[in-house]
Chains A and B, each alone.
Chain A
Amino acid sequence: MNNILFVFLRRLHVPLIVLITVYAISVLGFVLIPGVDDQGNPWRMDFFHAFYFVSYMGSTIGFGEIPYEFTGAQRMWTTFTIYATVISWLYAIGYMLTIVQDPALRNLLTEHRFRRGVRRISEPFYLICGYGDTGNFLVRALNEAGIRAVVVEIDQDRINQLELEGYNTYVPGLCADASVPDNLIKAGLQNLDCAGVVALTNQDAVNLKVAITSKLLNPGLRTIARAETHDVEKNIASFGTDHIINPFDTFAGRLALALHSPGMYLLYEWMTSVPHESLREPVFPPSGRWILCGYGRFGKAVHERLKAEGVSSTVIEATPEITGTPSDGVVVGRGTEAETLHEADIQHAVGLVAGTDDDANNLSIVMTARSLNPDLFTVLRQNGRANDVIFNAVQSDLIMQRGNIIARKIFATITNPVLTDFLRLARRHDDDWANQLISRIGGIIGNEAPHVWMLTLDEENAPAVNTALESGETLTVQNIITDPHDFSRTLPLIVLLIKRPGDEAEQEIILPAGQEPLQPGDQLLLCGRFGSQSSVEWLVANLNVLEYVLYGEDRPAGTIWRRWVRRNHAARELQ
Chain B
Amino acid sequence: MNLEKVIFAFFIVLALTINFGFFIGDIDNPDHHNVYELYAALVISLIATVLKFGDRTHIGAVLLATSLVADVQLIIAAVIWGVVEHVTQTGMTPHVMAAIVSLSGGALLANITSVVLFVIETSMMRR
Residues of A in contact with B (beta carbons under 8 Å apart) = 6-7, 9-13, 16-17, 20-21, 24, 27-28, 31, 46-49
* Number of B positions contacting A (CB below 8 A): 17
Contact between chains at A17 and B50 (CB < 8 Å):
yes
Contact between chains at B82 and A48 (CB < 8 Å):
yes
Complex Cα gap A20–B39 (Å): 12
Complex Cα gap A48–B81 (Å): 9
Contact between chains at A24 and B53 (CB < 8 Å):
no
Residues of A within 8 A of B86 (CB): 46, 48-49
User: Is B127's beta carbon under 8 Å from chain A?
Assistant: no
Complex Cα gap A70–B78 (Å): 25
User: Is B35's beta carbon under 8 Å from chain A?
Assistant: yes
Residues of A within 8 A of B36 (CB): 28, 31
Take A27-B39, A28-B39, A47-B35 as given contacts and tell me if A10 and B53 are in contact as well, using a CB distance cutoff of 8 Å: yes
User: Is B51's beta carbon under 8 Å from chain A?
Assistant: yes
Residues of A within 8 A of B26 (CB): none
User: Is B43's beta carbon under 8 Å from chain A?
Assistant: yes
Contact between chains at B56 and A6 (CB < 8 Å):
yes
Distance from A114 Cβ to chain B, minimum over Cβ atoms (Å): 21
Distance from A4 Cβ to chain B, minimum over Cβ atoms (Å): 11
Contact between chains at B78 and A13 (CB < 8 Å):
no
Across the two chains, which residue of chain A brings its CB closest to B44? A24
Contact between chains at A13 and B82 (CB < 8 Å):
no
8 contacts between A and B (CB under 8 A): A9-B54, A12-B53, A13-B53, A20-B46, A24-B43, A27-B39, A28-B36, A46-B35
User: Is B72's beta carbon under 8 Å from chain A?
Assistant: no
User: Is B121's beta carbon under 8 Å from chain A?
Assistant: no
Distance from A266 Cβ to chain B, minimum over Cβ atoms (Å): 61
Contact between chains at B82 and A10 (CB < 8 Å):
no
Contact between chains at A16 and B43 (CB < 8 Å):
no
Residues of B within 8 A of A21 (CB): 43, 47
Q: A13-B54, A17-B51, A47-B81 are in contact. List 4 more A-B contacts (CB 8 A).
A: A11-B54, A12-B50, A21-B43, A31-B39
Distance from B112 Cβ to chain A, minimum over Cβ atoms (Å): 22
Residues of A within 8 A of B78 (CB): 47
Residues of A within 8 A of B85 (CB): 46, 48
Residues of B within 8 A of A48 (CB): 81-82, 85-86
Contact between chains at B54 and A47 (CB < 8 Å):
no
Residues of A within 8 A of B43 (CB): 20-21, 24
Contact between chains at B82 and A47 (CB < 8 Å):
yes
Residues of A within 8 A of B56 (CB): 6
Take A9-B54, A10-B53, A12-B53 as given contacts and tell me if A20 and B35 are in contact as well, using a CB distance cutoff of 8 Å: no
Residues of B within 8 A of A47 (CB): 35, 39, 78, 81-82
Residues of A within 8 A of B35 (CB): 46-47
Complex Cα gap A251–B36 (Å): 83
Take A47-B39, A48-B85 as given contacts and tell me if A20 and B50 are in contact as well, using a CB distance cutoff of 8 Å: yes
Partner of A20, one of B47, B53, B54, B82: B47
Complex Cα gap A17–B86 (Å): 29
Contact between chains at B54 and A6 (CB < 8 Å):
yes
Across the two chains, which residue of chain A brings its CB closest to B7? A17
Distance from B76 Cβ to chain A, minimum over Cβ atoms (Å): 14
Residues of A within 8 A of B55 (CB): 6, 10
Across the two chains, which residue of chain A brings its CB closest to B46? A20
Across the two chains, which residue of chain A brings its CB closest to B51? A13
Contact between chains at A13 and B50 (CB < 8 Å):
yes
Which 7 pairs, one residue from A and one from B, show the smallest C-beta to C-beta distance?
A10-B54, A9-B53, A48-B82, A24-B43, A16-B50, A9-B54, A20-B46
Complex Cα gap A14–B82 (Å): 29
Residues of A within 8 A of B82 (CB): 47-48
Across the two chains, which residue of chain B brings its CB closest to A25? B43
Complex Cα gap A7–B55 (Å): 9
Distance from B104 Cβ to chain A, minimum over Cβ atoms (Å): 15
Distance from A58 Cβ to chain B, minimum over Cβ atoms (Å): 15
Complex Cα gap A9–B61 (Å): 13
Complex Cα gap A47–B39 (Å): 8
Complex Cα gap A6–B39 (Å): 28
Complex Cα gap A68–B16 (Å): 36
